[in-house]
Structure 1
Amino acid sequence: MDRHAWKPFLERWSDEWRIANPPADPATPSWLGFGPASEAEVAALEARLGRTLPPSYREFLLVTDGWTHAGPFVWRLRGTREIGWLRDLEPHLIGEDENEDEDDLLARSLLVSLEADAGVVFLDPDDVDEHGEWAAYDEFSWTAMGPVRHASFHAKMYDFYAGFHSLDRPDCETRREWDASVERARLAILAGELDEPLAVLEEAVRFGRDRADLLLYQLRIMLGDPHDDVSHHVERPLSSSAGWEPDPVLLSGEILPLLRAEHARTPQWRSSTLDGLRQRGAGPVKELIGAAGQAPLRYGVPEFDAAVRAVDWSAADAWPRLKEAPALWRPLTDDHVAPVSLLADPRIAPLITPERGREILTACRGTGR
C-alpha cells in the first residue's frame, strides 16, 4: 500500500472516529495522525536500524509520523524518532514465560507501538513475503493468546480499523457499504451461491454487522462446523448490547428450536448457548426463550414443512427424499437463509453431513415468502 492509498484510508478512519467520539470543541481537527515523516527522517531510521523498512510501513510513515487510537487498546503508534528494536526498548518483555519461540520472535522484532493496554505491536524482520512485507503482530498479556500474526503492517492496521467499527459502530458510509454488501450476499445465497457470500459475511462480521453474524451462523451450522466454533455468531447479535433485533418469527421458528436441541445435548457442567442468552440476551430474546408452551417443531413454510414430514425417516431412501425438498423451501424472514430447523430434529440431523448441508444450501431456491 503506497502513500496515495494510505492517505484516503486514514482520512476516512479519522472522520469516522470523530463521528463515534465527537470532540467537545467542534473545531478540533479530525486527523488521528501527525505530519508526514520526510524521506530523510525515514532514511535516518533505516540507517539506525540497519534494515530497509517493509513497504507498507515505510509508506505509512511518509503519510503520518505516528498514529493515535490505532485500536481500542492501542492508543499511540511510534514515530520515526521513537521506533526501535523491542529488545532495546522493552527488554523486560523477553523471557517473561517459558516459550522460547515467542522470546526469539520478540527479541528480533521492531517495536512500533508506544502506548497500549498491557500490550505491544511489532513487526518481524525474519518473516518476509514476496513483496518485502514483514509479518505484523500484536500481543496483550490479558488475552493469554500469545502473539497474533498478520501478513503485513497494512493488514494489522486494517484489522485495527475493522475492530474500531465492531466496537464503536459509527453511523457512517463504511457501515452503510457493509450493510449493502450483506444484503447482496443474502440474495446470492438464496440463489444458490455459497463460497463468495460466505467470505463477504465473514468480513462484515469483522466490522460488527450483527445481521451478517446471524446469516453466517445459519450457513456454518448447515455446513457442520462444530458448535463451539459458531456459537458466537448467534450470541453476539442476540445479546443485550447488540442494539439490533432479528424477526421473532425466525427466532421462535428456526433459531431457538436449534438452540434448545443443542442445550439438551450439553452436559450439565457446561454452559450452553441458550444458557448464555438467558443471561445476556436482549429483552425480546429472553422473553421468547422463557415463553411457556413451546410450539411443535415446524420446518419453515407450509410447502417445505409438508415435504419434510412426508419422508419416512426409517427408510433407506430418507436422504434422497429429503434432497428433493429444498426446491420448496422459502425464507420465513429477510434474515433467514437456511432450513436450520431440520437440525433441531434428532431424526434428521444425523442425515445432514457437511457435504449434504452444502448440497442443500446450493440448491437453487426462490426469494419470495
Structure 2
Amino acid sequence: MAWRDFLERWSAEWAGAWDPEQSPGERDREALRERWLGSPGADRARMAAVEERLGCRLPPSYRAFLEVSDGWRHAGGFVSVLAGTGEIRWSEDVAGLGRALREELDEDSPREEVLAAAVWERALRLDVESDATYVVMGPDDVDAAGEWAVYVWAGWRAAPPERYGSFREFMEAMHREFHSLESGRSGTAFVNDTTREQDAAVEEARLAALRGRYERAETVLKEALAYGRPRARGLYDQIRRLTGHAYSADFDRLAFDPVYAPELLAVLAADHVRDSWKDDEAWTGLFRGAGEAVRELGASLLGQMRDGTYRYTAEGPFGRAVEEAREQARWGRTDEAWRILRAALPRWRPLGPEHLAPVGLLADPFLGQVCGIPERGRESLATPRAGETGDVPVPAADVDPPGLAWLADADDGELGAGYRFVLVEAVRPDELPELLGAEGVSGLRGPQSRFEALFRAGRGAGPGRAEASGAAEASEATEAAYWEDRAVAAVVGLAGEGWSFVFDGRPQPFDAQRFVSPAVVASGGAPDEGSAAAGGGGAVPGGGGGRRAVVVWSSPAARPGRPGVFHLSVAQGGEERYAFTVRGAETAERRGDVPESLDPDRFFGSGGTGEAGLLDAVAGEFGVGLPRFTLTRGRAYTLTTRSWTRPPEPGEPMAVLRFVRSRGAARDA
C-alpha cells in the first residue's frame, strides 16, 4: 500500500475509534476534524535543508514518508509525536542505552547485539513526545536497499530494544500496535476496513490449517494477533502447542469457552502440575470471570492430572483409534501408537469451529509423549482433517531404534551409568509385579516420567531403600534389609511380540559374588533366596519347557584398573540354561551351553563389535527390543523389584555405612 493510502487509512481509523466522551486537546481536535494525523509533506527545499543540516541522505522509506507527511502523531500507543524535518536530530547515546548495552557484550556476542549497542552512539532520534519510549534510526545498520534499521526501547517493557528493518516496517508495526490496543479496549466498537480484512484472513487461515497448510495459517494468524483480532490467539496457540512452542500459548479466552474447555483446560492443567513451583492460587486465578461449570471443570481436571487418572477421549472413529493407540503407548510402544493416530487423523472432528487439531492429546499421560514430539505435531497439523482435503504429508520418522544395540551408545544423560533389565516371555507387563516385585508390591505405579519415578520411589535413599512419597507408593514401600539391591523405580513395558521387560537405569555396580539372576524366578522358578539358583550357583532341578527369561546387566568401569562388566543369563521354565560374565574384554565366567550366536568371545577382544554387537545378537536371538524414547524421555509404569543380590552368608564380611542427618534421620549406604 502506498504511503498516502496507508496513512490516510490509519488516520481515519484513529478518528473513528475516538471516544466521544473524551475531550481532545487542541492538536488532537484538529486531527479529528481533518481526519489526518500527519502534516503537509516536505517539499524538495525542506528535504535538502534537513539533509544538509544532518550531513547525510535520509533512508528511502523515511524520505518517502516525509514527502507525504512531515511528521506524525500517535505512532502506536506510546509515541505521541514522531519527528519530521524540523525535529529530527542526531542523538548521542540517548539515556545511556548504548553504554549499558555495550557493558553486556562479550567476545561471543552475536552481530545483532553488537549493532543494537552501537546504534545508540550515532543515530537519528525520531521520538519527540513519548511515554518513556525512545526511537532511533542508525546509519550503521543498513540493508542492501539503503534502509536504516529503526530501534525502539521502552523503559517500562524491561526488554531489549526492538529492531525494525526500515522506517516503513516500524510504522507498520506501530499501526498494528494501535489496532491491538484499540481492540482490547472494553466497550469500544472498533470496526473498519483493516479489522474486516484481518478477520477474513483469520477465517481463511482456519480453513487452511484444517487442510494441512498450517505454516501459511500460522503466518496469517500471527499478523492478525498483532492487530489484536479476538479469534487469532486461540487458533494460533493450538498450532504453537503442537509444534513444540508451549511458552505463553494459553489459548486465551478460548480455553474458558464451555465448548472447548474440556480439551484446552486439560492441557493447561497438565502444565500446572508439571510446573510444580506454581501454587493453586495461580490456577484458580485463571478462572476469574469464567462460569461456574467451567470453574468446576478446571478443578476436576487439575485433580485428574495430579492423581494420574486423566485420559483424553474423542468421539467416533478417531476416539476408537485413541484408545487403541493408548494401549500401545502405555507399554512403551510409542511408534506403534503414533502410526495408529496418524492413520486416524483424517477422521478427527473438531469440537467447534475454533478447534484446529486434537491438541488435548498433549495432556494425556501416555499419548502426550507420543504427540509431544514437534515433528509429529507438525505432521498432525499437515494432515488434512475434519472433512477437508489436501496433500498428505511425509510421515515423521520413528523415534525408537530397533533392537537393543542403542543401549551401548546411550550416554549418562539418557540412562545414567550402566543399566540392567529382565525380558520375560509369554507374560503381560501388568503380571510382572507378581513375578519380580518386591515383597508388598501389589501392582504397578504410574504413569510417570523417569525423574518422577526416581523421586517418588526414593531413589536417593541408597541400596535397598524404597522410601516412597505419596499414598500409593507408601503402601507398597516395605523396609528392606541392608543387603538388598532393589530396582526401586524399574520401568515396565513390552519388549516385542510376546515379551515384556523390566528396566533399571543407573544400577549399583555389578557384584558377581552376591548376584542373583532374576531370570530363574521370572521364567517360573522358586523365589527361595537360599536355593542354588537364587545364589547363581547352578541349575534348578526339573523344568525343561515353559517360558524364557533373559537378564542383562551392564556395569561401566568405575575407575582405572577396575574394568566394566557385562552379564547375560537365560533361564527357561525355572531353570538356568546358560550365563556368562565378561570383565573388560575377558570372559570371566561361563555356565551352561551358550549358543554360538551369543558366544561372548565373538564380540569382546580384538576385532569384536563389543557390547553393541552382543546386544544386537541378543535382540536377534529372542526377537526383542527396548523403547529408547520411553526409557529416556517418556512416561511409563514402574515397580520396585525384589533384590538382585542374595543375603550375606554366615561369616561373610559386609560393611554398612550409616549417615545421620541433622534432623535425626538415618540412612544406610
TM-score, normalised on structure 2?
0.49
- 1:304-315 map, 5 Å: 304-311=318-325, 312=327, 313=329, 314=331
AA matched with 1:329: W
Aligned to 1:75: 80
Unaligned 5+ runs, structure 1: 239-244
Q: 2:163 aligns with which of 127, 149, 157?
A: 149
Q: Are the aligned partners of 1:182 and 1:204 in contact in 2 as well (CA < 8 Å)?
A: yes
* Local SS of the residue matching 2:33: coil
Aligned to 2:260: 250
Aligned to 2:340: 321
Question: Which range moves more in the overlay, 185-194 or 8-17?
Answer: 185-194
Q: 2:40 aligns with which of 32, 35, 43?
A: 35
**Alpha-carbon distance in structure 1 between the residues aligned to 2:351 and 2:378:** 20
**Alpha-carbon distance in structure 1 between the residues aligned to 2:387 and 2:182:** 33
Q: 1:246 to 1:6 in 2, by over 3 A?
A: farther
Aligned to 2:370: 351
AA matched with 1:289: R
1:197-221 Cα shifts (integer Å, max 9, x gaps): 1111111111111211111111111
Aligned to 2:205: 185
Confirm or deny that 1:165 pairs with 2:184. no
Q: Are the aligned partners of 2:234 and 2:354 in contact in 1 as well (CA < 8 Å)?
A: yes
Aligned to 1:263: 272
Q: What displacement does 1:165 show?
A: 0.6
Q: Are the aligned partners of 1:247 and 1:335 in contact in 2 as well (CA < 8 Å)?
A: no
1:69-90 Cα shifts (integer Å, max 9, x gaps): 0011110011211111012xx7
AA matched with 1:173: D
Aligned to 1:13: 10
**Alpha-carbon distance in structure 1 between the residues aligned to 2:121 and 2:387:** 56
Q: 1:54 aligns with which of 36, 53, 59?
A: 59
AA matched with 1:51: C
Question: Which range moves more in the overlay, 289-298 or 308-317?
Answer: 289-298
Q: 1:48 to 1:271 in 2, by over 3 A?
A: farther
1 or 2, which has the higher helix percentage?
A: 1
Confirm or deny that 1:275 pairs with 2:282. yes
Unaligned 5+ runs, structure 2: 24-28, 104-113, 184-189, 305-309, 389-669
Q: Are the aligned partners of 1:71 and 1:163 in contact in 2 as well (CA < 8 Å)?
A: yes
Q: Are the aligned partners of 1:14 and 1:31 in contact in 2 as well (CA < 8 Å)?
A: yes
Q: What displacement does 1:356 show?
A: 1.0
Q: 2:380 aligns with which of 348, 351, 360?
A: 360
Q: What displacement does 1:322 show?
A: 2.1
**Alpha-carbon distance in structure 2 between the residues aligned to 1:171 and 1:282:** 27
* Local SS of the residue matching 2:100: coil
Q: What displacement does 1:99 show?
A: 2.8
Aligned to 2:523: none
Q: Are the aligned partners of 1:301 and 1:332 in contact in 2 as well (CA < 8 Å)?
A: no
**Alpha-carbon distance in structure 1 between the residues aligned to 2:294 and 2:268:** 12
Q: What displacement does 1:223 show?
A: 1.2
Q: What displacement does 1:302 show?
A: 2.7
* Local SS of the residue matching 2:294: helix
* Local SS of the residue matching 1:28: helix
1:179-206 Cα shifts (integer Å, max 9, x gaps): 1111111111111212111111111111
1:106-156 Cα shifts (integer Å, max 9, x gaps): 121100110011121110111111111100111111222132100100001
Q: What displacement does 1:98 show?
A: 6.0
Question: Which range moves more in the overlay, 358-367 or 126-135?
Answer: 358-367
**Alpha-carbon distance in structure 2 between the residues aligned to 1:191 and 1:95:** 48
AA matched with 1:136: V
**Alpha-carbon distance in structure 2 between the residues aligned to 1:91 and 1:191:** 50
AA matched with 1:162: R
Aligned to 1:234: 251
Q: 1:255 to 1:285 in 2, by over 3 A?
A: farther
Aligned to 2:489: none
1:263-306 Cα shifts (integer Å, max 9, x gaps): 111123x369x936x32556236751334655964433332112
1:298-346 Cα shifts (integer Å, max 9, x gaps): 4333321121112222263222222212022011100000101111101
Q: 1:19 to 1:286 in 2, by over 3 A?
A: farther
Aligned to 1:99: 102
**Alignment length (residue pairs):** 349
Q: What displacement does 1:258 show?
A: 1.0
**Alpha-carbon distance in structure 1 between the residues aligned to 2:118 and 2:240:** 37
* Local SS of the residue matching 2:238: helix
Q: Are the aligned partners of 2:311 and 2:365 in contact in 1 as well (CA < 8 Å)?
A: no
**Alpha-carbon distance in structure 1 between the residues aligned to 2:170 and 2:353:** 34
Q: What displacement does 1:62 show?
A: 0.8
**Alpha-carbon distance in structure 1 between the residues aligned to 2:173 and 2:219:** 16
AA matched with 1:134: W
**Alpha-carbon distance in structure 2 between the residues aligned to 1:181 and 1:246:** 24
AA matched with 2:251: V
Aligned to 1:241: none
Q: 1:98 to 1:209 in 2, by over 3 A?
A: closer
* Local SS of the residue matching 1:106: coil
Q: 1:174 aligns with which of 165, 184, 194?
A: 194
Please report the RMSD computed on the Cα atoms of aligned residues, expressed in angstroms: 2.5
**Alpha-carbon distance in structure 2 between the residues aligned to 1:51 and 1:130:** 17
> Computing the radius of gyration over CA atoms, which structure comes out larger, 1 or 2?
2
Between the aligned residues of both structures, percent identity stands at 40
* Local SS of the residue matching 2:338: helix
Aligned to 1:115: 129
**Alpha-carbon distance in structure 2 between the residues aligned to 1:91 and 1:322:** 56
Q: 1:319 to 1:188 in 2, by over 3 A?
A: same
Higher relative contact order (CA 8 A, sep 6+): 1
* Local SS of the residue matching 1:142: helix
**Alpha-carbon distance in structure 2 between the residues aligned to 1:178 and 1:152:** 23
- 1:290-301 map, 5 Å: 290-291=296-297, 293=300, 297-301=311-315
Q: What displacement does 1:361 show?
A: 1.4
Q: What displacement does 1:94 show?
A: 5.3
* Local SS of the residue matching 1:107: coil
Aligned to 1:242: none
Q: 2:138 aligns with which of 124, 127, 150?
A: 124
Q: What displacement does 1:11 show?
A: 0.6
Q: 2:218 aligns with which of 182, 198, 201?
A: 198
AA matched with 1:216: Y
**Alpha-carbon distance in structure 2 between the residues aligned to 1:92 and 1:361:** 46
Q: Are the aligned partners of 1:300 and 1:331 in contact in 2 as well (CA < 8 Å)?
A: no
